[in-house]
């Protein structure tokens, strides 16, 4: 781990979304220097699925050696942000560093993303970052070493990073555009930079997105905390940079990155937005067992009879019973590409159920798009749907919970083979 140097002692950091995850890790790293931390986040009461509150985070900050101010803040609300900034000034006398960490994510296509979700992502990622920066900047301009650090990616305009989740990419890139503009606007006065992880990071959000087993493909939040600390320890002349955590730490002399792995030695899941060119991304994704998002489109033709897909559906039919249908209550459509391309359906909702080639008899609750070889692996127990989704091998349209219920069906199939 990167050693603390004491450079942030006495500095006041205003960190959005600091009740858990990367935001809290950055807060604790700075607290070990004796920094003052404003924890600006929404979670005041324990969440049934997410760890931590602003108050539990504040306690950890103080135990680590810092001073903490917990503020209930929805960064979409101008008054709440303004109130938190004023409380920070009253408590600590100023603000030296702003970390725009709060973010919302939905990896869904244009037709699958409700406008309410679009508004949420734009409201938090783009507008919230801009608003918080605008309200904190007058105080940063009075600091001797002011910084803004946005946790956002390089502005990579490769279309593959838009095609599957246009709304999320627009919202996240909005944070990066704030870096691009404000770094130049306040050059020589305030350092403004962006930081992004090279690999997936183990957070509650990642576990919700990736499901069971994704953690071993991640690094811990400590790598982002160490990288942020290195950036925030520099002078204001270091500005306008789009940084990657591993690159920052290599420049600091760190060579052992296994120390940051959740499971040392396990292949890591690359994070979004970091490819240099489509062919480079293909190579990187395939090294980690993923299927690139820009493969040829799936075929809508009726599949040929025989072969591994038909055999898989024969095995599926063998385990369909009243209990499975009652437990699942879903109709699935599989749009398969690759060697055994075609459309298949699985009815675990109507009557005694059914499965076979072609479109389902009624509208599907879930449409799953993937390569036929990965489909076979999935139902053979060699690839979990959650892992296929996180690795880019599976696209899901419709009810995600129903998609994950397939794991139980797969478990029955594999028991039947024993």
Cβ atoms 275, 293 nearer than 8 A: no
- Start-end of H helices in 295-399: 307-319, 322-328, 372-379, 385-390
Angle between helices 129-140 and 166-185 (to 10 degrees): 20
Tell me how far apart the 2 most distant CA atoms of the chain are, in Å: 74
| Strand 354-357 with 342-348, pairing | antiparallel
- For every residue of 54-123, which 3-state class applies, written as one string? HHHHHHHHHHCCCEEEEEECCCCCHHHHHHHHHHHHHHHCCCCEEEECCCCCCCCCCCCCCHHHHHHHHH
What token pair was written down for 309?
A: 């897909």
What token pair was written down for 174?
A: 């909005």
Tell me the C-alpha distance between 103 and 27, whole Å: 16
Tell me the C-alpha distance between 171 and 76, whole Å: 13
Task: Quote the radius of gyration of the chain (alpha carbons, Å).
Answer: 24
- For every residue of 3-57, which 3-state class applies, written as one string? CCCCCCCCCEEEEECCCCHHHHHHHHHHHCCCCEEEEEECCCCCCCCCCCCHHHH
Name, in order, each residue with C-beta under 8 angstroms of 136's C-beta and a sequence gap of 6 or more.
Answer: 14, 85, 95, 98, 148
Q: Which residues are catalytically annotated?
A: 168
Cβ atoms 375, 311 nearer than 8 A: no
Residue 162 is given by DSSP the state H
Taking residue 49's Cβ as centre, other Cβ atoms within 10 Å add up to 7
Report phi then psi at 34, rounded to 5.
Answer: 95, 30
Tell me the C-alpha distance between 190 and 97, whole Å: 9
Adjacency order of strands within the sheet including 191-196 = 67-72, 36-41, 12-16, 97-100, 147-150, 191-196, 242-244
């Amino acid at each position: 781990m990167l050693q603390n140097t004491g450079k942030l002692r006495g500095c006041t950091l205003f960190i959005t979304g600091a009740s858990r995850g990367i935001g809290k890790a950055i807060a604790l790293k700075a607290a070990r220097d004796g920094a003052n931390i404003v924890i600006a986040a929404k979670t005041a009461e324990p969440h049934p699925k997410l760890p931590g509150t602003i108050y539990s985070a504040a306690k950890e900050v103080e135990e680590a050696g810092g001073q903490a101010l917990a503020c209930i803040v929805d960064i979409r609300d101008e008054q709440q942000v303004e109130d938190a900034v004023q409380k920070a000034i009253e408590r600590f006398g100023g603000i030296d560093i702003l970390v725009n960490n709060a973010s919302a994510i939905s990896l869904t296509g244009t037709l699958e993303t409700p406008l309410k979700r679009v508004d949420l992502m734009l409201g938090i990622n783009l507008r919230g970052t801009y608003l918080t920066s605008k309200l904190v900047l007058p105080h940063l301009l009075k600091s001797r070493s002011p910084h803004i650090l946005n946790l956002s990616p390089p502005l990579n305009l490769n279309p593959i990073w838009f095609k599957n989740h246009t709304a999320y990419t627009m919202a996240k890139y909005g944070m990066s555009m704030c870096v691009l503009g404000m770094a130049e606007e306040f050059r020589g006065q305030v350092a403004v930079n962006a930081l992004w992880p090279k690999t997936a990071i183990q957070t509650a959000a990642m576990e919700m997105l990736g499901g069971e087993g994704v953690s071993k493909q991640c690094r811990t939040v400590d790598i982002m905390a160490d990288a942020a600390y290195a950036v925030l320890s520099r002078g204001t002349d270091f500005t306008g940079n789009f940084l990657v955590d591993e690159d920052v730490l290599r420049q600091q002399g760190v060579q052992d990155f296994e120390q940051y792995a959740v499971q040392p030695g396990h292949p890591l899941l690359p994070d979004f937005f970091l490819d240099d060119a489509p062919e480079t991304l293909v190579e990187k994704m395939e090294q980690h067992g993923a299927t690139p998002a820009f493969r040829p489109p799936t075929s809508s033709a009726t599949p040929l009879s025989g072969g591994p897909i038909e055999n898989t559906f024969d095995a599926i039919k063998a385990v369909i019973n009243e209990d499975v249908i009652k437990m699942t209550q879903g109709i699935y459509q599989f749009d398969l590409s690759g060697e055994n391309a075609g459309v298949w359906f699985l009815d675990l909702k109507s009557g005694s159920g059914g499965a076979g080639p072609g479109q389902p008899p009624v509208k599907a609750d879930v449409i799953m798009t993937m390569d036929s070889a990965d489909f076979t692996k999935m139902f053979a127990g060699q690839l979990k749907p959650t892992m296929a989704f996180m690795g880019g091998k599976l696209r899901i349209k419709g009810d995600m919970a129903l998609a994950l219920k397939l794991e139980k069906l797969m478990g029955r199939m594999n028991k039947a083979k024993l």
